[in-house]
Amino acid sequence: MALVQFRDGNSGIVVGEQPAAGTSISSKARLNGINLLVSAIAVALIVWALYWIVDWAVIRAVWTSEDGSACRVADAGACWAVIHVRWRIILFGLYPYDEQWRSAAACLVIVVTAILSCTRPFHTLARLTLLWLVGFGSFIALMRGGVLGLSSVSVNDWGGLSLTLFIFAAVSITGMPLAIMLALLRRSRLTLIGKTTAIIIDVVRAIPLLAILFTVGVIIPFGLPDALVGEKLYRVIAAFSLYFACYQAEIIRSGFQAIPTGQEEAAQALGMSYRQRVAYVLLPQAFKAVLPPTVNQFVITFLETSLVVVIGFFDVLASGNAAFGTAKWGIAKIEVYLFVAAIFFTFTFSLSRYGAYLERRGAPNAAK
Amino acid sequence: MIRFTAVNKFYGGFKALNAVDLIVKEGERVVVCGPSGSGKSTLIRCMNQLEQHDTGSIEVLGRTLGDDLRATDQIRKDVGMVFQSFNLFPHMTVLENCMIAPQLVRKQAAENAKDVAMDFLNRVHIQDQASKYPSQLSGGQQQRVAIARALCMSPKIMLFDEPTSALDPEMIGEVLEVMTDLAEEGMTMVCVTHEMGFAKRAADRIIFMSKGEIVEDGAPDDFFASPKTERARSFLRRLDLTPSTH
Ligand SMILES: Nc1ncnc2c1ncn2[C@@H]1O[C@H](COP(=O)(O)OP(=O)(O)O)[C@@H](O)[C@H]1O
Ligand SMILES: [Mg+2]
């Protein structure tokens, strides 16, 4: 090992000496030549890759084929037919075929609720709470049925995109207040409370999410009486939410630390109560300071929702697996994954764009 | 209005206030001076309980401060404070800075709070900056906003902790002018400052502190003409060498 390293180092020196040996002008010219060559190669590679992708994904692609036979001819490109034929499985999982419009409507409800909660008029606690109660209420009514003449569908049959969105939205909406609470408790002036919260946060962060999900999904039902167990989906959301909150609490805490102590003193001197100081002085400044890592945390959480597959939930990625899991469509694995990736990308990219917009909006007053 | 009786304050083992007795009457303008670390900030911050004293009693506006947190809340509504580092809320406009406490604490309606705020911003000559954010203002302007913000709560007492120490020399005048106006209107003021010109002009009394004790307490003319203690004499001598710093 040491010998190899020694030889590497040696040859590096020799290569390094060569340009230095010539006059500075010729070495510059040679460098320019190398630059040009490297650029030309890079451009050629990119053009070739682009051509290959367009050729595969568009020119030679198979757009429709009821049974996938057209995808199996020798020079067939991307098999988009799989999406055409199986998109409902990918988006809706095992949800009853005739009722899938409900699952689509439920997705729409969550997306609209999320977009509305990003707009100014809903930026008060009361309105935001009401909005999400209505949003989740209609989501559950649509998905579960049993009301307004909708036939009932078991939670075990929920799946696909609506399940992914529901888990993500529920985790975010319950996890964020929990995170704020943990962050506030952690900076409590009573050391016992502060220390206990710190230990809880550190313990949860030390356990892999997979282990947590497995525990609440599979192990807890064995240990507890049925009445206490509750529905698996909600146990998973609760655990996921705690996990999210512990990470987000640390992010918020770092935001608190970025605020000069004079801010809280000024608010105290004006007679503002603890709650008022937290709501109007501390949290707005803390969130502004930690906006980028917070958006990051949301994006990670969105991607992590696909881990629920380990305890038997059919999120959109798992339903994607089901879509090519037959003899007919086994060849179209990549196409399905690309499609699912595009769905994930749409959501996470929108999240980060919204984050960037918030940062820009906050810019004038953040500037020193 | 303010009555300190045998007040002691410790930071760990360090005694920051040592048996302080002090009475400030209604309408009095008191300037507190003394070397750095002598306990001036601690003294003034005990008056609105940003620091809790350990022994002795503090009475402000007829309420005894200490364990009774409701008394503290009440006192903070009626006692305004201006800090060395302004401490404006950076995420709010100048106007919002002035409206927030009256709305939340005094439960004033928004229009009412806005009228009051604009009135005080006028008085500190900064009404045309109302919609700007603090970071867009100069230090002197920020400190005048901070004074207006405190006044919007219609306080009965105003506390100032070195309000001009963080300012560039050319901005000190505009802030002192606002404070002098306030003094002439009869506001009860306790002001930690080393601006001796302001003290001569506006103060009824000067308190000189050293090592956590009130060493001298008297009329400005007497204090400047014939300080009684050697510590005050050497303090004044050093001020004269380096005017308008610290
Ligand atoms: N939070 C604190 N913890 C420990 N010591 C402090 C604290 N605040 C002030 N002190 C000490 O108390 C003394 C008086 O401080 P202060 O009242 O700020 O003085 P001044 O305002 O006159 O400069 C100083 O020696 C300072 O170091
Ligand atoms: Mg001080």
Say if residue A141 is in the same domain as residue A198. no
Q: Is B52 in the pocket of ligand 1 (CB under 6 A)?
A: no
Note down the domain range covering A324.
162-362
The 10s digit of each residue's pLDDT in A103-141 is 889 889 989 998 888 888 888 888 888 999 999 989 888
> For the residues A158-187, what does the mean pLDDT come to?
90
Residue B1 has pLDDT above 60, yes or no: yes
* B35 C-alpha to ligand 2 centroid (Å): 9
Residue at a domain's end among A130, A152, A174? A152
Cβ within 8 Å of B, A 82-101: none
Two tokens, residue A94 = 């095992």
If you measure from the C-alpha of residue B16 to the centroid of ligand 1, how many angstroms do you get, rounded to a whole number? 7
User: How many whole angstroms separate alpha carbon A89 and alpha carbon A96?
Assistant: 10
Which residue's structure tokens are 């000189």?
B208
The ligand 1 atom at the shortest distance from the C-alpha of residue B35 is 22
Q: Are residues A144 and A235 in the same domain?
A: no
Distance from the alpha carbon of residue B39 to the mean position of ligand 1, in angstroms: 6
The domain boundary residue, chosen from A122, A152, A182? A152
Element containing residue B142 per DSSP (H, E): helix B139-151
What does the pLDDT read at residue A50?
Answer: 94
Co-location of A130 and A169 in the same domain? no
Contact between A271 and B150 using a beta-carbon 8 Å cutoff: no
Residue B142 contacts residue B86 (beta carbons within 8 Å)? yes
Note whether A287 contacts B: Cβ–Cβ < 8 A: no
Task: Considering only the beta carbons, identify the residue of B76, B90, B104 that sits closest to A280.
Answer: B104
Domain membership of residue A326 (yes or no) is: yes
Please, what is the average pLDDT of chain B? 92
Q: Residue B240 has what pLDDT? A: 67
Check whether residue A148 and residue A169 sit in a common domain.
no
CB contact under 8 A, B90 and A365: yes
- A242 and A320: one domain? yes
Question: Do residues A270 and B149 lie in contact, with contact meaning Cβ atoms separated by under 8 Å?
Answer: yes
The average confidence (pLDDT) of chain A is 83
Q: Which of B85, B104, B153 sits opposite A262 (nearest CB)?
A: B85
Closest-CA residue, ligand 1 atom 17, reads: B39
C-alpha dist (Å) from residue A103 to A150, A233, A315: 12, 16, 13
Q: How many Å lie between the centroid of ligand 2 and the Cα of residue B64?
A: 24
Q: How confident is the model at residue A82, as a pLDDT?
A: 77
pLDDT at A23: 59
| pLDDT in the model for residue A366 | 40
Nearest to B91 among A284, A367, A368 (CB): A284
CB-based contacts of A337, cutoff 8 Å, min separation 6: A320
Residue A3 has pLDDT above 70, yes or no: no
Residues whose Cβ atom is located within 5 A of ion ligand 2: B 41
Residues A231 and A193 in one domain: yes
Q: In degrees to the nearest 10, what's the CA dihedral of A274, A276, A279, A284?
A: -100
Residue A198 in domain: yes
* pLDDT reported for residue A368: 32
Is there a single domain that holds both residue A264 and residue A289? yes
Nearest chain A residue (CA) to B76: A271
Among chain B residues, the shortest Cα distance to A264 is held by B87
Residue type, A92: F
Least distant ligand from the CA of B36: 1
CA dihedral A119, A124, A127, A131 (to 10 degrees): 50
Measuring CA to CA, how many Å separate B105 from each of A165, A285, B76, B113? Answer: 41, 20, 10, 11
Mean pLDDT, range A234-244, rounded to an integer: 91
Nearest to B48 among A262, A269, A364 (CB): A269
**Are A245 and A314 contained in the same domain?**
yes
Confidence (pLDDT) at B243? 41
A80 falls within a domain: no
Residue B48 CB less than 6 A away from ligand 1: no
Q: For residue A15, is pLDDT > 50?
A: no
Q: What is the pLDDT of residue A363?
A: 59
pLDDT band at A182 (very low <50, low <70, confident <90, very high): very high
Is residue A3 in a domain?
A: no
Ligand 1 center from residue B20 Cα (angstroms): 15
CB-closest option in B87, B101, B136 to A272: B101
Give yes or no for residue A233 having a pLDDT over 80: yes
The answer on A183 and A146 residing in a single domain is no
**Interface pTM (ipTM) of the complex?**
0.92
Note the pLDDT tens digit of each residue in A319-330. Answer: 777 777 777 777
> Would residue A368 count as lying in a domain?
no
A320 shares a domain with A203? yes
Helix (H, G, I), strand (E, B) or coil at B149: helix
What's the confidence (pLDDT) of residue A229? 65
Can you give the pLDDT at residue A337? Answer: 85
Residue A347 lies in a domain: yes
* Number of structural domains chain A divides into: 2
CB of B193 within 6 A of ligand 1: the answer is: no
Strand order in the sheet with B79-82: B79-82, B157-161, B188-192, B29-33, B205-210, B213-218
Q: A137-160 pLDDT, tens per residue?
A: 898 888 888 888 888 888 778 878
Domain boundary among A105, A122, A152: A152
pLDDT in tens, A71-107: 777 787 788 877 777 788 888 888 888 888 888 898 8
Helix/strand/coil (H/E/C) assignment for every residue in chain A: CHHHHHHHHHHHHHHHHHHHHCCHHHHHHHHHHHHHHHHHHHHHHHHHHHHHHHHHHHHCCECCCCCCHHHHCCCCCCECHHHHHHHHHHHHCCCCHHHHHHHHHHHHHHHHHHHHHCCHHHCCHHHHHHHHHHHHHHHHHHHHCCCCCCCCCCHHHCEHHHHHHHHHHHHHHHHHHHHHHHHHHHCCCCHHHHHHHHHHHHHHHHCCHHHHHHHHHHHHHHHCCHHHHCCHHHHHHHHHHHHHHHHHHHHHHHHHHCCCHHHHHHHHHCCCCHHHHHHHHHHHHHHHHCHHHHHHHHHHHHHHHHHHHHHCCEEHHHHHHHHCCCCCCHHHHHHHHHHHHHHHHHHHHHHHHHHHHHHHHHHHHHCC
Looking at the structure, do residues A142 and A220 belong to the same domain, yes or no? no
Ligand nearest to the CA of B42: 1
Residues of A in contact with B132 (CB under 8 A): none
CATH classification at residue A302: 1.10.3720.10
**Interchain proximity B87–A265, CB inside 8 Å:** yes
What is the reported pTM?
0.83
- Residue of the nearest CA to atom 1 in ligand 1? B11
Least confident span in A186-190, A323-327, A364-368: A364-368
Helix axes A160-186, A316-323, angle to 10 degrees: 150
Read off the pLDDT of residues B10-60 as tens digits, 9 standing for 90 and up.
999 999 999 999 999 999 999 999 999 999 999 999 999 999 999 999 999
Amino acid A121: pLDDT: 86
Reported as a single tens digit per residue, the pLDDT across A258-307 is 999 999 999 999 999 999 999 999 999 999 999 899 999 999 999 888 88
Mutate to test the interface with B, among A261, A270, A290 (most CBs of B within 10 A): A270
Structural domain contains residue A297: yes
Q: Is the pLDDT of residue B87 over 80?
A: yes
The answer to whether A269 contacts B150, with C-beta atoms less than 8 Å apart, is yes
Q: Does the pLDDT value for residue A339 go beyond 80?
A: yes
Classify residue A24: in a domain, yes or no. no
Same domain for A174 and A195, yes or no, is: yes
